Amino acid sequence: MSELDTALLHTYEKAVGINCFVVDLEAPDEIPGSGYAFCNECYSKQKAEFGRAKCDNLMEYAAYQSVRWGGKYEFLCPAGAAFISTSGMRNGMLRYGLFAGPFIMVSHSDFLANEISGLFSHGAEFIKDTAKQLPYIAPHRVSSLADMLIMVVAYSEHRDSEDIRLAAETSERYNEIFRTMQNIGDSEAEYVYPIDTEKRLQRYITSGDKKGAQRALNEILGAIFFSAGADFVAIRTRVTELLVLLSRAAIEGGAEPSRIFGLNRDYLGEINKFDNVEDLSNWLANMLSSFTGLVFAAPDAKHTDTIQKVMEYVNTNYMNRITLNDVSEHVSFSVSYLSRMFKEEKGISLTTYINEVRIRNAKMLIKLSDISLSQAAYLCGFDDQSYFSKVFKKMTGTTPGKYREQK
Amino acid sequence: MSIFEEISSFMQQGRAPKVKELVEKALADGEGAKAILEDGLLSAMSIVGEKFKNNEVYVPEVLIAARAMNVGMAVLKPYLASADIESKGKAVLGTVKGDLHDIGKNLVKIMFEGKGIEVIDLGTDIDAETFIQTAIDENATIIACSALLTTTMGVMKGVVEKAEEMGVRDKVKIMVGGAPVTENFKDSIGADYYTADAASAADVALSILGA
C-alpha cells in the first residue's frame, strides 16, 4: 500500500522491540488497527461507548498531528498504552501514518493498577493477559525512538536530511511564535507593534542572513497574531504589509526586481486562502526563504558561496576600514581574481558594493536617529566626511543634509 | 524534603504508584487536600511544563507526569469535594472540535472541582452545538472551552455564535483558554473571559457564580 521499505520496518521493530503498523490515510475506512493481541483484547473488553471507531479516529488524528509537531507525535491511547506516530507524504499530501506501538512507559504493575480513563468497568486488570506482553520503554528513550521512526520513513521516501531539518524547523517556528505571544501576554506593559524588530528583519534580509530573518519574522508574527486575535482580515492585512516590506528589502539586498515582483504576484493571490495562522506562517516562512535566497542568487551559481561570503563580510564589517586585500584574504582569492569575479556575478564592482552597503546603513542612521552627519559617516566606515557626502550624493542623488531634512 | 516536595519529585518522574502512596500518606498525616493539590501535584506539573518549554524534557515525560497527576488526583478527589459540599454552580467543560489534547482541560477540571464548582466534562473533540446543548440541558452557567492548536482555536468563535443562535448567549458566560489563546483573541470572538492558567480560570469561574 505504500513504498515503505518493509525490510527496514522489521529492522526497526527488532532493534527497538516495538511493533510497527501502517494506516492508509487515503482509505481511512480500512484502518487495520494495530492488529495486536493487546488491542484486540481491549476492543472486546472495553465499555461499549468507547468502541473501536474511537481508536481508529485517534490513529488518524495522530498521523496528522505528527506533521504539526516536527514529524512525530507521541501519545497515550484511552487504555493508557503509548504509541509513536509519524507520517508519509506524496506530492505534498499526507498519505499514510506509520506507528510504533503499543508499548508502556511505566511499569507493568503501575499500568495495571492505575487505569485512569474509565475505559473498563473493572480497571485494566481486565486486559492483564495481553498487557503483560507489552514492552516497557523508558520515557526518556521514546523521543529518540520517534526520531528514528522519522528516519525510517525518510529513508523509504528518499527524503534527505534537509527535509527532516525543515520539518523540525517548522515545529520550532510555531513554538517560537507562541512563545512570543505568551511573553507579550504575560508582560504587564502595554502592547506596541515591534517596529524595531521589523527594521531588524529588513536588515537581515538585505544582508541575506536567513536565520536572523526567520527569528525576527517569528517575533513579528507572534506580535501580529497576539494583537489581532481571531480577526483574520487584520492578520492578512498585516502579513500583506510585511510581504511588501520583505520584497523591498530583498531588492535592496541585490535580488533581481523582476523575479521578486513575479513572486509577489503569485503570492498575493494565495494569501486569501488561509484561515489559520499555522498555514499562514508556513507560507510566509517559505516566502522569506525565497526572498533571502534571491538576494544571493547570482545568475551564474558557480561562485555563489564565495560571493555570499564576501557579502556577509562586507555587511558585518562595513563600519570598519575594509580594504580589497582584507576581503580577498577572507575568501582566499587574489584581489584581481575576486574583483573580476564579483563584477561578473553582481554586475557592480566590489568597491561600489562596499559603498552601497555603507550608504544604505548611513541612510538608516540619518533617518532613524539624531546623530550628527559626521558621526553617521564615521559609523558607516567613512574616515572623511566630504568623501562620504560625495559618495552619498552619487548614490542617492541628494546630499546627507538634504536627505535628513526630508524625513 | 517535605512530603509535598517528595510528591512533586515522584510526579515529575511519572511514578504513579509512589505519588498515590505519598498522597495517601499526606492525607493520613493530616495535610489538607488543597495543599497537597497545589504544593504537590500542580507545582510538579508547572515544573514539568517549564522544563518542556526549555527542551529539558520531551512529550513522553509530560505524558507520564500528567498520568501520575491523574492517579494522585483520583485519591484526592473525595477530600477536595468534601471541603465544599455545597455545589456553587455548574460549568460545562471540553476541548474543542478537532483537538484531542486534554492535559490543560483536565487541570481546569481539577481546579474547578477544588473550588466546589460542578463540572460536566464533555472530554475532547467537542463541537459547538454540544457545548451549548449540554449547557441548556444541565442548566449550566459557564461554558469553558480549551484549545491547544491554532487550527482549532477558531472553533471557539463557533461556540459563541452557536450560543447566540440558540438564544442563550445572555444566560451563559463563555470562558476560553489554551496555549495559543490570548486576551485579544477572546475579545475578537466575543467570548467573556480569558485566563492564562487553570488556577486563575477557577478564580474567575467562582466570581462569575458570585460565590
Q: What residues of chain B have any CB closer than 8 angstroms to a CB in chain A? A: 14-17, 20, 53, 58-61, 63-64, 67, 70-71, 74, 100, 149-151, 153-154, 156-157, 179-180, 182-189, 196
Q: Which helix (H) or strand (E) holds A280?
A: helix A277-295
pLDDT digits (tens, 9 = 90+) for A389-402: 999 998 888 899 88
Q: Give chain A positions within 8 Å (CB) of B196.
A: 185-186
**Whether residue A177 has pLDDT greater than 50:** yes
Identify the pLDDT of residue A195.
Answer: 87
Query: Would you put residue A382 in left (φ > 0), alpha (ψ -120 to 50) or beta?
Result: beta
Mean pLDDT value across residues B170-184: 90
Q: What is the mean pLDDT of residues A294-313?
A: 70
A331 vs A301 pLDDT, higher one: A331
Contacts of A75 in chain B (CB under 8 A): 63
Strand A73-76 versus strand A82-90 pairing type: antiparallel
Note the pLDDT of residue A155: 82
Kindly state the cell numbers that stand for A174.
510555531
Q: Which of A74, A181, A229 sits opposite B60 (nearest CB)?
A: A74
Q: What is the pTM of this model?
A: 0.68
The predicted complex's ipTM stands at 0.81
Residue A123 in contact with residue A115, Cβ under 8 Å? Answer: yes
Check CB contact under 8 Å for A230 and B15.
Answer: no
Interface test with A, best of B15, B121, B159, B184 (most A CBs within 10 A): B184
Q: Each residue of A343-360: pLDDT tens digit?
A: 877 888 898 999 989 998
Q: Helices A51-68 and A37-45 sit at what angle, rounded to 10 degrees?
A: 130
**pLDDT at B99 (0 to 100):** 86
Q: Are the C-beta atoms of A117 and A78 separated by less than 8 Å?
A: yes
pLDDT in tens, A239-264: 888 888 888 888 887 777 887 887 77
Q: Would you place residue A299 in the very low, low, confident or very high pLDDT band (cuts 50, 70, 90)?
A: very low
Average pLDDT over residues A284-299: 73
Q: Is the pLDDT of residue B134 over 90?
A: yes
Residues of A in contact with B20 (CB under 8 A): 114
Q: Which residues lie below 8 Å from residue A307, measured CB to CB, with a gap of 6+?
A: A296, A298, A341, A342, A345, A346
The mean-pLDDT minimum among A184-198, B59-73, B146-160, B195-209 falls in A184-198
Q: Please name the member of B60, B187, B196 whose beta carbon is closest to the beta carbon of A139.
A: B60
Yes or no: say if B132 and B143 are a contact pair by the CB < 8 Å rule.
yes
Tell me the pLDDT band of A170, cut-offs 50, 70 and 90: confident
Q: Which residue has the higher pLDDT, A128 or A301?
A: A128
- Tell me what pLDDT residue A34 has: 54
pLDDT at residue A123, as a whole number = 63
Q: Residue B20 has what pLDDT? A: 95
Crossing angle of helices A335-346 and A304-317, in 10° steps, is 100
DSSP string, A351-383: HHHHHHHHHHHHHHHHHH----HHHHHHHTT-S
Residue A107 and residue A99 in contact, taking contact as beta carbons nearer than 8 Å:
no
Average pLDDT over residues A276-294: 80
- Chain A residues contacting B, CB < 8 Å? 58, 61, 68-69, 73-76, 80, 82, 105-107, 109-110, 113-114, 116, 139-140, 142-143, 174, 178-179, 181-182, 184-186, 225-231, 275-278
Which comes out higher in pLDDT, residue B199 or A47?
Answer: B199
For B84, how many CA atoms within 13 A lie in the half-sphere containing its CB?
A: 17
Residue of A84, B22, B27 whose CA lies nearest to B12: B22
Mean pLDDT of the A152-168 span: 74
Give a three-class secondary structure readout of B39-103.
HHHHHHHHHHHHHHHCCCCCHHHHHHHHHHHHHHHHHHHHHHHHHCCCCCCEEEEEEECCCCCCH
CA A154 to chain B, closest CA, distance in angstroms equals: 22
Q: Which residue has the cell 511564535?
A: A177
pLDDT tens digits for range A362-386? 988 888 888 888 888 988 998 888 8
Res. B85 pLDDT band, cuts 50 70 90: low
